[in-house]
A = this chain, B = another copy of it.
Amino acid sequence: MAEQTLPATGREWHLAARPSGWPVPEDFALVEAPVQAPEAGQIVVRNEYLSVDPYMRGRMNDVKSYAPPFQLGAVMDGGAVGRVVASAAEGFAVGDPVLHGLGWREYATLDASQAVKVDAALPLQSFLGVLGMTGLTAYAGLLEVGSFKPGEAVFVSGAAGAVGSMVGQFAKLRGASLVVGSAGSPEKVRRLTEELGFDAAFDYKAGPVAEQLAKAAPEGIDVYFDNVGGEHLEAAIGALHVHGRAVLCGAIAQYNSTEPPVGPRNLALAIGKRLRLQGMLVRDHYALQPQFVEEVGGWLRDGRLVADETVVDGFEHAVDAFLGMLRGSNTGKMLVRVTG
């Protein structure tokens, strides 16, 4: 294929200020920047979908954490998929669909070694969601960290979110006896049971989590997949069976709080029940990738999996999408479509 003519500039979203508590639009800046021509070994990608994820909120703080902080005045990187529009790298042709980590910009110039070519037969955006880090997080968390076995009962918080909606579906497809999800609105709750195959779901804003969980899973649970923290984790510790497991994957309830969080007051129950609470990051589980792609890719092709997503159109609305995701306005994976 012929090389396309690169535009002189493209838009980028920069971090303009570090938020305290909830981020506001003024913390971000939309900037026009030159598009770099590829040097030897590099490619230029025109991004088509950007991922906005809860972990990005943590990177907006200037603290040492598992991911380095975003720098003030620099682009907010993140997962993205797009197509090659210029290539000076062997094995990458114009038009190839790729996955890479330079999101929050329209055009990315990068070493080809930092991009992964993806299967053109599958929807491009699925590599940011169900077949990407989101799906692998759910898969590894449920199976490796949570040691889920067929016949067990699973509770997932943030179940209408990108990871949560996969956890619940994977558990059902793998033979769970019961899958319960919590979410933040009646519409999401309805979607969980009517479209995603959850056995039960509840709106955590409608009453105490422990009471609603006890109604949904009166005989208790074996695995709790935590995307929320706080009251949810405490309720789950109370409901877990002997030798139950809690997968600590997210604490979105705390990310924007300026109050000190409350720890689970019933944690001493973990002794007698021999519970295991284990934190996870997907980066520890890349070895599971081939098995994950085979099994989940198969479910996706067979139509057994609902790859829920909320797409916000327009690069200029990336911040709105990010803030909306933090507030829970999405169901499933929240994506920004750059074209639009």
Contacts and interface: CB of A to CB of B under 8 A. Distances in A.
A234 interface: yes
Contacts of A279: 269-276
Contacts of A273: 66, 279
Interface stretch (A78-86, A199-207, A245-253): A245-253
Contacts of A268: 229, 248, 251, 254, 261
A267 B233 contact: yes
A265 interface: yes
A39 to B, nearest CB: 35
Contacts of A254: 268
A241 to B, nearest CB: 12
- Residue of A65, A254, A263, A269 contacting most chain B CB atoms (<10 Å): A263
A60 interface: no
A178 interface: no
B274 A281 contact: yes
A262 interface: yes
Given A260-B265, A262-B263, A263-B267, 15 more contacts: A65-B272, A66-B271, A229-B268, A233-B267, A234-B263, A248-B271, A250-B271, A262-B265, A264-B264, A270-B278, A271-B279, A274-B279, A276-B277, A276-B279, A277-B277
